[in-house]
Amino acid sequence: EQHRRDGRTAYHFQPAKNWQNDPNGPMYHNGMYHFFYQYNPHGPTWGSGKLSWGHSVSGDLVNWAAVENALDPTADFDINGCYSGSATVLPGGRPAILYTGKNADNEQVQNVAFAKNPADPLLCEWEKPSCNPVIPIPADVTGNNFRDPTEAWRGRDGLWRVGVGAEVGGLGSVLVFRSADFLRWERNAAPLHVSSRDIPELECPDLFPVAERGTEGLDVSTPGGAGVTHVLKLSDLAREDHYMVGRYDDAADTFVPAEPERGVDCRSWRRFDHGHLYASKSFYEARKKRRVLWAWVDETDGGGVGRGWAGIQAFPRALWLDGDGKRLVQWPVEEIETLRRNRVGGVEWATEVEAGGRKEIAGIVSSQQADVEVVFEIANLEEAETLDPKWLVDPRGLCAEKGASVHGGVGPFGLLVMASGDLEEHTAVFFRVFRHLDTYKVLMCTDLTQSSRKEGVLKTSYGAFLDVDVEKDKFISLRTLVS
């Protein structure tokens, strides 16, 4: 009920109030999921950036309870903000956090904190040793851009490694530091990644192994080799996340991309999500043997001052490598299905929709929360329009040009969600099928142009071409988590 009144979301993680941004240090430890996040305890904006690490715990990734902040800016080495970072469970079961502190001189440095009592199921208290910062800003780092340590992993030589986003001589890079004791870190001469000049800053790097076959996740320290490859994910300042599959060598600490033709500018790499999602972070959880991805979605209506909160963490997704060895596949964690209550529809609901027509899915109890699975059967592909090849590189532009109300050959067909009773406000999630050479291309779009009557709200379109064979399958299935 509360959700319906104040517009809060249902599937996504939100603290009770105030500002949150990046997911930090997700971890599964002693039967409990821990989730930390960039948090301003004093209000609904990022403010002066003197952020804390908010902390919540869960037994199922769906129901969360808040515990006290894990980190607050209290020491010389983080007094101007406890920025993003990661959690690592050390041998013997002691959880550690590596995070960026903005120190008293406003420099970005890397700090460590340890769980005070590893046996406490809530891991309420964290202590910061006085030897912090454990990694001061290197002399060749420019622009004070040195932040967001990855989860640490252990190489076969027993040393820990951590990757840190850094601007080195004006180039967005990921530096690797090694340590035997988690306290003294030494920089490896070779960076893990160096971008082009167009990307001076990189945020929230993530390096993790994936199995070449199957959907099981792997612990971060699993070495590459037969059956195991790696993923490097980077967040660029345009608020987009990009990844590349490749070979990580744990002796040299280097990463060789599987698709070098995409270049070093990560904006040409692959995307987890073509929507509005940033600063993602994944973790491995041994309970269900899966890799789970969290990501922050920020406000598009100018912030949450009126509401008292801002920012959501998109529902967690299980992540694995597709059979092509280059692309990741994801699905909402299965626990989300425990939220299903009133089943509406079913096969008996199957219906035909005329061109330009709409049919209401009646019986949805709460228009604010619905887990929709729908299959669109495409009876006839003959009327598919021919695709202008210029759109192949700009599916988002094509979604904007041909919004949900623009009539086409095959499509638009899809769902109108978050709709007001008079349909004046709605968000369209839809498809179009185009003919391209001797095959078909399926475009998927999210059209926000009618999503709100309010001014000053970002009302854009997102989109991508899908890798589906409509000629063979004749149908497209869609799952949408609404709100």
**Residues carrying an active site annotation:** 22
- Nearer to ligand DQQ among residue 295 and residue 416 (C-beta): 295
Residue number with CB closer to ligand DQQ (80 or 450): 80
Nearer to ligand DQQ, 277 or 470 (CB): 277
**Closest distance of CB 48 from ligand DQQ, Å:** 11
Q: 65 CB contacts (<8 Å, ≥6 apart)? A: 56, 57, 58
- Is 378 a binding residue for ligand DQQ by CB under 6 A? The answer is no
Minimum distance of ligand DQQ from residue 100's CB (angstroms): 5
Alpha-carbon distance of 168 to 91, in angstroms, equals 33
- Nearest distance from C-beta of residue 356 to ligand DQQ, angstroms: 42
Q: Nearest-CB residue to ligand DQQ?
A: 83
**Contact residues for 372 (Cβ-Cβ < 8 A; gap 6+):** 361, 415, 417, 478, 479, 480, 481, 482
CB of 389 to ligand DQQ, least distance (A): 35
38 binds ligand DQQ (CB under 6 A): yes
To ligand DQQ, the closest distance from the beta carbon of 437 in angstroms equals 41
What's the CA gap between 55 and 262, in Å, rounded? 37
**Touching ligand DQQ, residues 143-202 (CB under 6 A):** 147-148
Binders in 247-306 for ligand DQQ, by CB under 6 A: 279
CB of 277 to ligand DQQ, least distance (A): 11
224: exposed, middle or buried (Cβ count in 10 Å: 0-12, 13-18, 19+)? middle
Interface with ligand DQQ in residues 200-229 (CB under 6 A)? 203-204
Query: Which residue's CB is nearer to ligand DQQ, number 9 or number 100?
Result: 100
Residues 110-129: x where in contact with ligand DQQ by CB under 6 A, - otherwise, as a string: --------------------
Nearer to ligand DQQ, 236 or 285 (CB): 236
Q: Segment 413-442, which members bind ligand DQQ (CB under 6 A)? A: none
Choose which of 9, 22, 26, 416 interacts with ligand DQQ (CB under 6 A). Answer: 22
Q: How many residues in the shown chain lie near ligand DQQ by CB under 6 A?
A: 12
Contact pattern from residue 54 through residue 93 relative to ligand DQQ, giving x for each residue in contact according to CB under 6 A and a dash for the rest: -----------------------------xx---------
Which one of residues 28, 34, 37, 51 is an interface residue with ligand DQQ (CB under 6 A)? Answer: 51
Tell me whether residue 232 or residue 416 sits nearer to ligand DQQ (CB atom). Answer: 232
Closer residue to ligand DQQ (CB): 22 or 285: 22
Task: Give me the least distance between CB of 32 and ligand DQQ, in Å please.
Answer: 25
Shortest separation between residue 98's beta carbon and ligand DQQ, angstroms: 12
**Residue 404 is a binding residue for ligand DQQ (CB under 6 A):** no
Q: Which is nearer to ligand DQQ, 240 or 250 (CB)?
A: 240
- What is the binding site for ligand DQQ (CB under 6 A)? 21-22, 38, 51, 83-84, 100, 147-148, 203-204, 279
